Amino acid sequence: AQSVSQHNHHVILSEAASLELGCNYSYGGTVNLFWYVQYPGQHLQLLLKYFSGDPLVKGIKGFEAEFIKSKFSFNLRKPSVQWSDTAEYFCAVNPYNNDMRFGAGTRLTVKP
């Protein structure tokens, strides 16, 4: 079945550590890719998106993600996390002419 897979359910890091959250998808053809973040008690917000062009995309708050077509992956990265990055992160895929599909989410806890 077509799906979006996030490899880590819960990640715990100390401040200043580097972050990489994995995301793989199984849809073929053209896809649009997104990372959303949900801070505690808040609504989902868009972190970054990829439609075409440079496979390394930069988003808000120092996040970036790299689209690797051959690996069907769109991993999220941040060189140095802060306590305020504690949140749930969702990878999402919008297959061409189809509806947005979300991964299961990764909960990030950053310890001060």
Residues in touch with other proteins (CB under 8 A): 32, 34, 36, 42-46, 49, 51, 90, 92, 94, 99-105
In the complex, what is the shortest distance from the CB of residue 17 to other proteins, in angstroms, rounded to a whole number?
Answer: 25
Of 42 and 70, nearer to other proteins (C-beta) is: 42
Q: Could you give the CA distance from residue 78 to residue 102 in angstroms, rounded to a whole number?
A: 21
Q: Could you give the CA distance from residue 77 to residue 29 in angstroms, rounded to a whole number?
A: 24
User: Which string of DSSP letters, residue by residue, matches 66-94?
Assistant: EEEGGGTEEEEEESS--GGG-EEEEEEEE
In the complex, what is the shortest distance from the CB of residue 28 to other proteins, in angstroms, rounded to a whole number?
Answer: 18
Of 8 and 32, nearer to other proteins (C-beta) is: 32
